[in-house]
């Protein structure tokens, strides 16, 4: 704000234009979701304003019907399992990749990141044929493994980013003081990278929780995940329940985001302490 | 520890030390590799291998070789000019009987229909009729059964089947096919759609990437220059939609843009237009929805790079007499380029693979390659073609990723 | 092949770990089959009329799955010997093709204990048991369009009926309608469509409304398109329109001119499924005269078993496709034609759409 005092009229004009443009873009970003959420309280299954009445029926359907709740449970089950697997595998890999002189780094990194790059539809079709051969189609295992593969790169990337900021002198200091490497890992490295790990896990969780194309091919009726329930809802008719589900999930996402933000602050605090 | 040893050592010990260093370095490398190994193995088995196998299907098809073994073998000696001789027809009759008995004629018919549309049913009926044809001469009898066996392209088709590998699917996915004499010809215009589809995919991806950059850059700049408190608040506005299910965001666009949807209602209500405009199922809707979905992906890397640029740079430029625009353009902007490259290329690569969003908000002429892959997998059941399309799309994607890798270090890529 | 052996082992191990979680989920009962149908109103009706009573009578639990009528998953299951669908409510256009590829079980009518000759089109399928008669019709909302379309030509008349129209995203049906609207008598439709000129003619006619069409893929979409006012009229399955009127209080009307009645739904058994006997048991039950007609209590799809007609309630008769007054200008869907030309025409149709 203080620079504004010295600014010319043209610069002031730019300043406000920039703010207006940015505001419009942000509106464009959030408005679509915010505008449809009220429609989930509509008493009739149509998507037009003004709403004909207020009702919780779509929330009831989401929260009480076996189909939606089954989907929700499946999604949680699959996402939690995929997150655990991908977090462990991904964190280990990130630790390895961050070591200096890692052999064939580019090639290995390429493979590790590839699930992020390959279009999902290709992954879905390929994984489907492979799973069909080994009998993993229509099984929880199949969905979990496929989701782990697409979620792991997120963990690797996020944890790697944290490791770049990791001060190696702390590790050396700990070793110099005679701590065995296991102790160093659990007492020094892990606490420092845990915010990155948790953020990576959250990304992994969302990558699996939100995934529909692979599930469409690999999941059977028992494994029908929430996005699949939504998708079959869209294919047939768009029910306001989808929006109600979305509203609940947006709330959920906000809670997760807040968690990430708090973790980030904690991490910054930790690094701040390191600086003194 | 090694350092203390080195101080007391002579040249001989120096050599020993070097060897030990090398060993410990190798050991360190091994340990690092061991950490990556579980994920690497996991991905190779559950991801790389399946994809490789599917891509193999783009060039591998042994349907004819296994189901019509005698015919394809007998045709090896055929010169391709006149109709094949009695010996080939005898082999054909035997193969036809086998396919009928083993109920595999349907698979051959399907394979035939890919390359020679409409011949599949003729093949099936030939197989049925040939099942009672036990003695020769076969040539006249089979031609009598179906004039199909007088067509040279049919024989050339089977001759090509002697190899378990075929270029047909790859050719087809760029709108070429085999002609009557196995020469490569352009696919007839009423079925030539893939080159357009690739161009369209490319065009939509460029459009969406450009849109996300133009919209995202000012916002990223604002976020990077605001105080952390307010920028964190605005950040929620960006990350929240990013974390909302893509399906839900697509549905939101359907609801907004449909004939009597919110946007049309508002426009009609405000008397801007008198009749609802065609918004949904158009290219416009596809690009708008994809732009909104991809915007955070482009924006966040730009933002994270901008945050690392010290404001003192601009101040220095200004104090040296540069105008505000000049300072921004010559000092600030160049430093944001890695972020722009990362964001834009990531969005572009992700756009190439879009499937559900265009399928739900786009019209039939707005579909991208992903749609055709799904369509040929699920509806047309032509898995070879689906694999070939996937292969081409994947090569394009990997090529871009390679460029991306050259331009910016993947390690600097931040996703949130 | 080392890698695949290795992969199997790894996957089995991980599978075992995961299955300890899975097994905590209930429902690994002894006798159960998975029946896959089309979802929406049809599957709800089938579930009430057939699946649930079947479970009660026989004690075989029924798992339901949904699909959108694509045969791809069946082919993949059978080819990789991982069949999980025991019975599928199949679609007439692909049943014979899959049968010729050995992907479906050949039906043993003796084992089924049903009289094949009593089934409409029963002799047409080696691998299928005809289930119900449905029809593609043109439907519109009487509240919004009191003076609705009278002939199929009106579907193509954007001057008389301006606005979007819904059509199914498939070649079958649309090509026939295009020809009839272009002046071909219904009885000659397949004769004309069997020539390259006829196909060109049909596509040319479709070109005239191409930009006014909203394409749908699932049977439950057209009532929604009508309800939302997205289209002035739409191709639809007659049963779904009835369902919208009965269960959602709509006032939709059906134009029966040039309707396409046919045995759309055929029970099939993917080859090599683990519950073959129970699959037979189910089809024998659902296709028996006393049971097949009960579906009309929930959705007006007439039974393909002629003996079942006497069990159909009178109230639903005016909504059935094969009611005599609806048949005057009907196009009898030529399944044999579509078996032969379907691949070819669908390829052309896909390309036409994308252009």
CA distance A164 to chain C (A): 32
Polymer length of chain A: 276
CB within 8 Å of B280: residues ≥ 6 apart: B254, B257, B258, B259, B261, B361
Segment A250-274 shows an average pLDDT of: 72
B292 contacts chain A (CB < 8 A)? yes
Number of Cβ within a 10 Å radius of residue C339: 21
State how far residue A26 is from chain B, nearest Cα, in angstroms. Answer: 7
What is the average pLDDT across A82-86? Answer: 96
Beta-strand pair C252-268/C213-216: unpaired
- Is A171 an interface residue toward B (CB < 8 Å)? no
pLDDT tens for each residue of B38-61: 999 999 999 999 999 999 999 999
- The CA-CA-CA angle for residues A68, A74, A77, to 5°, reads 140
pTM of the model: 0.88
pLDDT at C19 over 50: no
**Which residue of chain C comes nearest to A137, CA vs CA?**
C82
A34 in the same domain as A61: no
Q: Hey, what are B287's tokens?
A: 């690009």
Rounded to the nearest angstrom, the gap between the alpha carbon of residue B141 and the centroid of all alpha carbons in its chain is: 48
Lowest mean pLDDT among B120-124, B224-228, B239-243, B310-314: B239-243
Q: Is-contact C165 C233, C-beta < 8 A?
A: yes
Q: Verify whether the Cβ–Cβ distance A221 to C14 is below 8 Å.
A: no
Q: Could you tell me if residue A47 is inside a domain?
A: no
Alpha-carbon distance B93 to B107, whole Å?
Answer: 17
Query: Same domain, yes or no, for A32 and A140?
Result: no
State the burial class of residue B361 (Cβ atoms within 10 Å of its Cβ: 0-12, 13-18, 19+).
buried
Both A180 and A74 in one domain: the answer is yes
d(CA A10, CA A160): 44
Give the confidence band of C87 by pLDDT, cuts at 50, 70, 90. Answer: very high
Q: What is the DSSP letter of B226?
A: S
| DSSP state letters, A112-143 | HHHHHHS-HHHHHHHHHHHHHHHT-TTSHHHH
| In contact, B170 and B391? CB cutoff 8 Å | yes
Alpha carbon distance A22, A28 (integer Å): 10
Q: Tell me the sheet residues that pair with C302.
A: C133
CB of C308 closer than 8 Å to CB of C293: yes
Distance between CA atoms of B147 and B166, rounded to whole angstroms?
Answer: 26
Residues A90 and A179 in one domain: yes
pLDDT tens, position by position, B305-332: 888 888 888 888 888 888 888 888 888 9
**Alpha-carbon Rg for chain A in angstroms:** 23
- Of the candidates A182, A165, A154, A156, the one whose C-alpha atom is nearest the C-alpha of residue A267 is A165
Which residue among C73, C100, C351 sits closest to B124, beta carbon to beta carbon? C100
Closest by CA to A238, choosing from C216, C82, B358, B103, is C216
C156 HSE (CA, 13 A, CB side): 20
Q: Which of A30-44, A167-181, C133-147 has the highest mean pLDDT?
A: C133-147
B110 contacts C97? CB cut-off 8 A: yes
Measure the CA angle with vertex A19, ends A15 and A22; round to 5°. 140
Q: Which of residues 131-160 of B touch A (CB under 8 A)?
A: none
**Residue showing tokens 């048949």:** C327
On the question of pLDDT at C25 being above 50, the answer is no
Phi, psi of B150 (to 5 degrees): -100, -5
User: Is 80 exceeded by the pLDDT of residue A273?
Assistant: no
Mean pLDDT of B77-100: 92
Taking the C-alpha atoms of residue A147 and residue A129, their distance in angstroms, rounded to an integer, is: 16
Radius of gyration of chain B (CA): 31
Mutate to test the interface with A, among C35, C62, C76 (most CBs of A within 10 A): C76
> Which residues in chain C have Cβ-Cβ distances shorter than 8 Å to A222?
25, 27, 63
* C77: contact with A, CB 8 A cutoff: yes
- DSSP letter at C265 equals E
Whether B342 contacts B236, CB under 8 Å:
no
DSSP character at residue C24: T
CA dihedral B259, B263, B265, B268 (to 10 degrees): -100
What local confidence, expressed as pLDDT, does residue A6 receive? Answer: 61
In chain C the domains, ranked by start, together with CATH numbers, are 2-133+264-319 (3.40.190.10), 136-260+328-354 (3.40.190.10)
pLDDT band at A5 (very low <50, low <70, confident <90, very high): low
Give helix then strand counts, H and E, for chain A: 12, 0
Q: What is the pLDDT of residues A159-187, one digit of tens each?
A: 887 887 777 788 888 888 888 888 888 88
What is the extent of the structural domain holding A244? 57-275
Helix (H) / strand (E) containing C6: helix C2-22
**Residue A142 within any structural domain of the chain:** yes
Q: Residue B356: how many CB atoms within 10 A of its CB?
A: 21
> Using 50, 70 and 90 to split pLDDT, how confident is the model at B248?
confident
Question: Are A62 and A68 contacting, i.e. CB atoms less than 8 angstroms apart?
Answer: yes
The shortest C-alpha distance from A80 to chain B (Å) reads: 17
Q: Which residues does chain B have within 8 Å of residue A121's beta carbon, measured at their own beta carbons?
A: 353, 355, 370, 373-374, 390
Residue B409 reports pLDDT greater than 80: no
Q: Do B356 and A213 touch (CB under 8 A)?
A: yes
Is B262 touching A (CB cutoff 8 A)? yes
Residue C2's pLDDT is 37
Q: How many residues does chain C have?
A: 355
Verify that A105 and A20 share a domain, yes or no. Answer: no
Which residue do the tokens 């047409």 mark? C124
CB-based contact B35 A148, cutoff 8 Å: no
Q: Which of B38, B245, B353 sits opposite A89 (nearest CB)?
A: B38
C346 part of contact set with chain A, CB < 8 Å: no
We report the CATH number of the domain holding residue A257 as 1.10.3720.10
Place of tokens 């307010």: B230
Q: How confident is the model at residue C15 (pLDDT cuts 50, 70, 90)?
A: very low
Q: Is residue A71 domain-shared with residue A155, that is, in the same domain?
A: yes
Residues C155, C159, C163: CA angle, nearest 5 degrees: 65
Query: Look-up: residue for tokens 């929006």?
Result: A243
Domain co-membership, A151 together with A37: no
Q: What average pLDDT does chain A have?
A: 85
The confidence band for C29, taking pLDDT boundaries of 50, 70 and 90, is: very low
| Alpha carbon distance B221, B302 (integer Å) | 8
Mutate to test the interface with B, among A105, A119, A207 (most CBs of B within 10 A): A119
What is the SS3 assignment for C52?
A: helix
Residue with tokens 């097949």: C292
Q: Is C19 on the interface with A (CB under 8 A)?
A: yes
Alpha-carbon span A86 to A153, nearest angstrom: 8
- The pLDDT score that the predictor gives to residue C10 is 46
User: Given this model, what pLDDT does residue B369 score?
Assistant: 94
C-alpha span between A185 and A187 (Å, rounded): 6
**Measured between CB atoms, does A218 come within 8 Å of chain C?**
no
User: What would the mean pLDDT of A264-274 be, rounded to a whole number?
Assistant: 66
CA A10 to CA A176: how far, in whole Å? 60
Confidence band of C7 (pLDDT split at 50, 70, 90): very low
Q: Is the pLDDT of residue A8 over 80?
A: no
Identify all chain A residues contacting C228, using CB atoms and an 8 Å cutoff.
46-47
- Residue A236: the pLDDT is 66
- Please report the pLDDT score of residue A272 as a whole number: 61
With respect to residue A116, please indicate whether it lies within any of the assigned structural domains.
yes
Check whether residue A8 and residue A124 sit in a common domain. no
What pLDDT sits at residue B194?
A: 94
- Tell me how far apart the alpha carbons of residues C21 and C15 are, in angstroms, rounded to a whole number: 10
- Residue A233 pLDDT more than 80? no
d(Cα B139, Cα B159) in Å, to the nearest integer?
17
Tell me: pLDDT of B195 over 50. yes
Structural domain count, chain A: 2
CB atoms under 10 Å from CB of C69, counted, come to 21
* CA dihedral over B346, B352, B356, B361, signed as positive or negative: positive
DSSP state of A7: -
Give dist(CA C129, CA C89) in Å, integer. 10
Q: How confident is the model at residue B408 (pLDDT cuts 50, 70, 90)?
A: low
Kindly report which listed range (A42-46, A77-81, A234-238) carries the lowest average pLDDT score. A234-238
Q: What are phi and psi of C133, to 5 degrees?
A: -95, 125
> In terms of domains, do A188 and A87 share one?
yes
Tell whether A20 and A128 lie within a shared domain.
no
What average pLDDT score do residues C202-221 get?
Answer: 91
At residue B7, the pLDDT reads: 53
How would residue A237 be classed by pLDDT, with cut points 50, 70 and 90? low
Residue A50 falls within a domain, yes or no? no
Quick one: pLDDT at residue B94?
94
pLDDT, tens only, B121-180: 889 999 999 988 888 799 999 999 999 999 999 999 999 999 999 999 999 999 999 999
pLDDT in tens, A50-75: 777 899 999 999 999 988 999 999 99
pLDDT at A225 over 60: yes
Q: Among C99, C229, C347, whose Cβ lies nearest the Cβ of B380? A: C347
- Using 50, 70 and 90 to split pLDDT, how confident is the model at A24? very high
Decide: B193 and C348 in contact? Cβ < 8 Å. Answer: no
- Given an 8 Å threshold on Cβ–Cβ distance, is C350 in contact with B196? no
Q: Quick one: tokens of C336?
A: 């044999």
**Residue A249 confidence (pLDDT):** 81
The answer, yes or no, to whether residue A134 has pLDDT greater than 80, is yes
Distance between the two ends of chain A, CA-based, in angstroms? 31
CA distance B19 to B35: 24
**How many CB atoms are located within 10 Å of the residue B268 CB?**
15
Q: C331: helix, coil or strand?
A: coil
Cα B220 from Cα B218, distance rounded (Å): 5
- Is residue A30 in some structural domain? yes
* pLDDT band for position C327 (cuts 50, 70, 90): confident
pLDDT at C21 over 50: no
C262-282 tens-digit pLDDT? 878 899 999 999 999 999 999
> What band does B201 get if pLDDT is binned at 50, 70 and 90?
very high
Q: CB count, 10 Å around CB of A50? A: 7
Of B43, B245, B415, the CB nearest to A149: B43
Note the pLDDT tens digit of each residue in C149-196: 999 999 999 999 999 999 999 999 999 999 999 999 999 999 999 999
pLDDT-derived band at B10, boundaries 50, 70, 90: low
In the predicted model, is pLDDT for residue C12 greater than 60?
no
Cα gap B257→B246, rounded to integer Å:
16
Comparing B197 with A9, the larger pLDDT belongs to B197
Sequence-distant (≥ 6) Cβ neighbours of residue A4 within 8 angstroms: A12, A15
Check residue A208 and give its pLDDT.
Answer: 93
Q: What percent of chain C stands above pLDDT 90?
A: 51
- Based on the domain organization, do A35 and A103 belong to the same domain? no
A75 and A113 belong to one structural domain: yes
Calpha distance A230→A226 (Å, rounded): 6
Phi/psi of residue C33, nearest 5 degrees: -130, 155
Residue A94 covered by a domain: yes
pLDDT of the residue at C9 = 46
pLDDT on residue A254: 79
∠ Cα C113 C116 C120 (to 5°): 135
Distance CA A24, CA B216 (A): 11
CATH superfamily of the domain spanning B194-412: MetI-like (1.10.3720.10)
Q: Which residue has the tokens 């498939």?
A: C170
Residue A156 corresponds to which tokens in the numbers above?
């690797």
Q: Which chains pack against A, by 3+ Cβ pairs within 8 A?
A: B, C
Q: Residue B375: its chain C contacts at CB < 8 A?
A: 350
């Amino acid at each position: 704000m203080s620079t504004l005092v010295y600014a010319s009229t043209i610069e002031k004009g730019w300043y406000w234009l920039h703010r207006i443009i940015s505001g419009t873009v942000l509106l464009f970003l959030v408005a679509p979701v915010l505008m449809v959420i009220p429609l989930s309280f509509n008493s009739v299954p149509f998507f037009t304003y003004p709403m004909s009445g207020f009702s919780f029926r779509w929330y009831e359907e989401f929260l009480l019907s076996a189909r939606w709740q089954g989907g929700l449970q499946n999604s949680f089950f699959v996402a939690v399992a995929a997150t655990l697997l991908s977090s462990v595998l991904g964190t280990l890999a990130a630790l390895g990749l961050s070591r200096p002189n890692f052999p064939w780094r580019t090639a290995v990194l390429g493979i590790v990141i590839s699930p992020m790059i390959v279009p999902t539809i290709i992954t879905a079709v390929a994984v489907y044929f492979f799973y069909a051969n080994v009998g993993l189609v229509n099984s929880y295992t199949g969905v979990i493994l496929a989701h782990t593969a697409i979620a792991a790169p997120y963990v690797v990337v996020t944890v790697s980013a944290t490791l770049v900021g990791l001060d190696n002198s702390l590790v050396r200091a700990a070793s110099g003081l005679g701590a065995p490497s296991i102790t160093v890992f659990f007492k020094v490295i892990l606490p420092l990278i845990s915010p990155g790990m948790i953020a990576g896990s959250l990304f992994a969780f969302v990558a699996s929780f939100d995934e529909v194309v692979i599930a469409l091919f690999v999941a059977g009726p028992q494994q029908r995940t929430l996005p699949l329930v939504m998708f079959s809802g869209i294919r047939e008719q768009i029910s306001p329940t989808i929006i109600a589900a979305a509203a609940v999930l947006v709330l959920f996402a906000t809670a997760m985001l807040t968690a990430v933000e708090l973790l980030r602050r904690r991490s910054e605090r930790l690094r701040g302490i390191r600086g003194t | 520890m090694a350092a203390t040893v080195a101080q007391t050592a002579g040249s001989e010990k120096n050599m020993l030390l070097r060897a030990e260093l090398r060993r410990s370095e190798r050991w360190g490398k091994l340990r690092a590799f061991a950490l990556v190994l579980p994920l690497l193995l996991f991905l190779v088995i559950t991801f790389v291998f399946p994809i490789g196998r599917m891509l193999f299907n783009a060039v591998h098809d042994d349907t004819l070789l296994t189901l019509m073994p005698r015919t394809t073998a007998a045709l090896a000696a055929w010169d391709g000019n006149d109709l094949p001789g009695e010996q080939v027809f005898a082999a054909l009759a035997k193969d036809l009987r086998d396919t009928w008995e083993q109920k595999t004629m349907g698979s051959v018919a399907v394979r035939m229909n890919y390359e020679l549309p409409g011949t599949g049913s003729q093949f099936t009926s030939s197989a049925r009729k040939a099942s009672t044809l036990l003695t020769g001469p076969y040539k006249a009898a089979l031609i009598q059964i179906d004039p199909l066996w007088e067509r040279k392209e049919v024989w050339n088709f089977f001759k090509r089947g002697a190899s378990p590998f075929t270029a047909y699917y790859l050719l087809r996915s760029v709108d070429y096919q085999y002609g009557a004499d196995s020469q490569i010809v352009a696919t007839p215009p009423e079925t030539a759609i893939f080159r357009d589809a690739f161009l369209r995919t490319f065009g939509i991806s460029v459009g969406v990437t450009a849109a996300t950059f133009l919209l995202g850059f000012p916002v990223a700049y604002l976020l990077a220059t605001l105080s952390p408190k307010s920028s964190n608040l605005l950040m929620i506005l960006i990350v929240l939609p990013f974390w909302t299910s893509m399906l839900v965001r697509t549905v939101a666009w359907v609801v907004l843009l449909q004939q009597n949807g919110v946007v049309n209602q508002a426009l009609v209500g405000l008397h801007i237009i008198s009749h609802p405009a065609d918004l949904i199922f158009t290219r416009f809707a596809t690009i708008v929805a994809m732009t909104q979905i991809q915007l955070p992906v482009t924006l966040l890397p730009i933002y994270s790079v901008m945050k690392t640029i010290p404001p003192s740079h601009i101040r220095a430029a200004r104090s040296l007499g540069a105008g505000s625009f000049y300072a921004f353009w010559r000092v600030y902007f160049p430093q944001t380029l890695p972020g722009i490259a990362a964001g834009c290329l990531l969005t572009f690569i992700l756009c190439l693979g879009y499937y559900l969003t265009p399928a739900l908000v786009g019209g039939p002429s707005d579909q991208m390659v992903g749609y055709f892959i799904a369509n040929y997998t699920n509806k047309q059941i032509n898995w070879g073609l689906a694999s070939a399309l996937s292969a081409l799309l994947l090569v394009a994607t990997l090529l871009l990723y390679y460029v991306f890798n050259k331009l910016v270090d993947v390690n600097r890529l931040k996703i949130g | 092949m080392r890698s695949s052996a290795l992969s199997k082992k790894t996957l089995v191990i991980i599978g075992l770990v995961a299955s300890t979680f899975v097994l905590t989920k209930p429902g690994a009962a002894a006798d159960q089959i998975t029946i896959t149908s089309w979802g929406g109103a049809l599957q709800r009706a089938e579930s009430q009329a057939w699946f649930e009573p079947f479970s009660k009578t026989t004690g075989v639990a029924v798992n339901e799955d949904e699909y959108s009528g694509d045969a791809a998953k069946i082919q993949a299951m059978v080819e990789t010997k991982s069949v999980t669908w025991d019975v599928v409510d199949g679609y007439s256009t692909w049943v014979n093709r899959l049968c010729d590829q050995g992907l479906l079980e050949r039906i043993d009518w003796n084992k089924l204990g049903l009289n094949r000759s009593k089934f409409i089109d029963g002799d047409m399928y080696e691998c299928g048991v005809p289930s119900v008669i449905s029809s593609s019709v043109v439907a519109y909302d009487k509240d919004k369009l009191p003076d609705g379309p009278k002939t199929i030509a009106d579907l193509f008349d954007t001057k008389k009926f301006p606005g979007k129209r819904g059509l199914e995203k498939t070649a079958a049906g649309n090509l026939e309608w295009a020809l009839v609207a272009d002046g071909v008598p219904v009885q000659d439709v397949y004769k004309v469509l069997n020539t390259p000129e006829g196909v060109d003619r049909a596509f040319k006619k479709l070109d005239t409304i191409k930009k006014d069409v909203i394409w749908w893929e699932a049977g439950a979409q057209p009532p929604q398109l009508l309800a939302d006012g997205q289209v002035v009229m739409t191709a639809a399955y007659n049963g779904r329109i009835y369902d919208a009127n009965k269960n959602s209080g709509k006032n939709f009307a059906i134009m029966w001119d040039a309707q396409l009645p046919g045995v759309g739904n055929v029970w099939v058994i993917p080859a090599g499924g683990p519950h073959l006997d129970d699959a037979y048991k189910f089809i024998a039950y659902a296709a028996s005269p006393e049971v097949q007609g009960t579906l009309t209590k929930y959705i007006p799809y007439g039974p393909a078993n002629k003996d079942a007609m006497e069990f159909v309630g009178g109230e639903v008769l005016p909504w059935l496709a094969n009611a005599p007054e609806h048949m005057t200008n009907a196009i009898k869907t030529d399944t044999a034609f579509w078996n032969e030309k379907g691949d070819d025409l669908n390829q052309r149709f896909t390309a036409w759409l994308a252009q």
